[in-house]
Chain A
Amino acid sequence: MAELDKNDGSLDSTPNVTDVVEVEAADETAAVAAIEAPVERGEPILQVRNLVKHFPLSQGILFKRQIGAVKAVDGVSFDLYQGETLGIVGESGCGKSTVARLLMTLETATSGEVFYKGQDITRLSGRALKAVRRNIQMVFQDPYTSLNPRMTVGDIIGEPFDIHPEVAPKGDRRRKVQELLDVVGLNPEYINRYPHQFSGGQRQRIGIARGLALNPEIIICDEPVSALDVSVQAQVINLMEKLQDEFNLSYLFIAHDLSIVRHISDRVGVMYLGKMAEIGTDSEIYDHPTHPYTQALLSAVPVPDPEARERGERIILTGDVPSPANPPSGCRFRTRCWKAQDKCATETPLLAIPERFKSVDSPAAHESACHFAEEKDIVGAAS
């Protein structure tokens, strides 16, 4: 895929938006119009700014009071460009799935903005929100529990049309569903079967067909292949890449398998405990990681090559991810970091191009939230 040129706008700049704070009835039409407008390839389609989601922890039965909050997502900013795949990696509990649910407006953000084509979707409602939801669809992790066992495949894939009837008129739905089955590589005659009659890989194809039904512009994939066998994984990844080219989709691809993320992504963001630790193009992250967490994560991945066993150092992190209800002060990674110093406990590092790389024209000059960012080749030695 062509390299998308997109590092020009810094993440802190709020996009140029006409006032969307109050979406009045008159504005709603304007908002819908903005949402329906096409976006050029390589332009940002989704801009996330300081997104925060805290889940309250309460105590008491009759008189509930809040005693704290699980800071699942705590100030995440990134852009998704039209036609690209942005991979998000991180350990379980780092907030990557919560980000996905926030973008889908399945959860309400505590604060922060998500701009879809300039419209802040956290404040939209009614017609405009419906239009946004049509354009952002999701493929879930577990193909066994994300399909209703009592519905036929035709009903599952056709259900989005009940909510958005403008996409497919009533008489036309069956044909549309069959078309979708064909697109994802399933036999259109399977339309009356039930989910249990399919294997894991086929079910994930059904999930993808459902995601495609409304011709969305963005598909958020939350660990779409982690429940599948190795030989089937490759089939589903190939299908997703084919569909991206065919329908001009933008993917937000959440996964914990770093090699698959590298294969499919144009850019990669690494999350740790509710914050973005590092973000850049795939080669910037994999070949020139500057954040210690990224380096540790990359070095922990077992390489499918026994010759790599002898490769020199391997960073093994000690301990577990701290609780997001009570994250460490300053840099959140400092409790497991081998570089941590006093500064890390007091000052939260910002996600920005590190000072020392600013003037250098090297792949290490990408955004990294570390006071002591330093380039280290982890993958290169092994591959």
Chain B
Amino acid sequence: MTIMDKTADIPAPRAGGSDDSPLLEVRDLHVEFHTRDGVAKAVNGVNYSVDSGETLAVLGESGSGKSVTAQAIMGILDMPPGKIPQGQILYRGQDMLTMSYEERRKIRGQKIAMIFQDALSSLNPVLSVGYQLGEMFRVHQGLSKKQAKAKAIELMERVKIPAAKQRVNDYPHQFSGGMRQRIMIAMALALEPDLIIADEPTTALDVTVQAQVMDLLKELQTEFNMGLILITHDLGVVADVADKIAVMYAGRIVETAPVHELYKRPAHPYTRGLLDSIPRLDQKGQELYAIKGLPPNLLKIPSGCAFNPRCPKAEDICRTEIPALVPVSEQDGSELPGRGSACHFWKETIHG
């Protein structure tokens, strides 16, 4: 019994999209916020792509632009003050930024869904969980209230909420943190989307519950062959589930790599610093490696490489020239597929 029998009124992949284009591709995306104090450049030229069944982890600290990118993809940025001056977001080859509002609305929820970090504040406290889950079916598929509730119960069973039938009329505050996150996942899954964007899905949860939720997410992803963009700052979670990683710093991607490669041989000093600052067993009692300084203020990003004031390797060129994201290769020149680094000295970093 699958809940997600595709109904006829979901449009088939549009004619404009060719088959070989990736599921979702972000090209040279810029986002800025116009504030009273000036223009905050939150995203400065981000490129990434995700395919069906693939997990892309976007790793970065607060203020690195990882969530803003996701919000731009979903089309839920506050505009104004937000603004997208430049860039493309291609869903199956179609640019979503040039679409009409109605067209975009058909994709949002049905094709691309999002799981938010804080389940308690993302759910409406005065509506029952079943009503909120059923809303997806009522709005997008025009089901009746009764049918929608039946679907909601199936969804809750799907994400392993015990006694779904009895609990469908409960309100969000009656559920525990882990259960609420499951409801968020169920809501995102409702219309069987092709892509799920999970923005820090487990940050607010305890480790034991985090393991349960990540397992569930992984299982559902495999079952429906969905693409997944996982936004997080937790290097542990990333190592567990990601296929490829994009590391963001000050609105730019500073390094991309397949997951095993990144942990073994980082090609950017920032990634290296992050990996080194995790407490490790063999370093017990010693001082932890710490990246000095603070993340930059987005109103005045340092010139050149944004990481240069904190970088142990910084030289004059880093202060003047913005390094492009260039492909990284082996010492003998052979290519390392999927790897890129935005550092003038990536060779020294990876091979040094």
Contacts and interface: CB of A to CB of B under 8 A. Distances in A.
Given A320-B176, A320-B178, A231 B236 contact: no
A383 interface: yes
7 interchain residue pairs of minimum CB distance: A302-B236, A263-B279, A234-B290, A234-B277, A300-B211, A231-B291, A91-B206
Contact of A234 (B206, B212, B263, B288): B288
B144 interface: no
A313 to B, nearest CB: 13
B237 interface: yes
Interface stretch (A8-16, A49-57, A252-260): A252-260
B104 interface: no
Contacts of A262: 279, 281, 284
Interface of B: 61-62, 176-179, 206-212, 214-215, 233-240, 242, 259-260, 263, 273-275, 277-281, 283-285, 287-292, 294-295
A151 interface: no
Given A230-B274, A262-B279, A305 B263 contact: yes
B294 A232 contact: yes
Interface of A: 1, 91-92, 199, 201-202, 229-235, 237-238, 241, 256, 258-260, 262-263, 282, 296-297, 300-309, 314, 316-318, 320-321, 379, 383
B317 to A, nearest CB: 23
Contact of A263 (B212, B273, B288, B294): B288
Residue of B235, B280, B288 most packed against chain A (CB within 10 A):
B288
Contacts of A201: 294
A229 B288 contact: no
B209 A238 contact: no
B288 A230 contact: no
B173 to A, nearest CB: 14
Contacts of A317: 208, 211-212
A296 B208 contact: yes
Nearest to A233: B277
Nearest to B289: A234
Contact of B206 (A92, A199, A230): A92
Contacts of A263: 279, 283-284, 288
Given A231-B274, A260-B279, A262-B279, A300 B290 contact: no
5 contacts: A231-B290, A304-B263, A304-B275, A317-B212, A321-B206
Contact of B278 (A202, A259, A297): A259
A383 B281 contact: yes
A341 B238 CA distance: 37
A383 B236 CA distance: 13
Nearest to A314: B211
B61 A238 contact: no
A320 B278 CA distance: 28
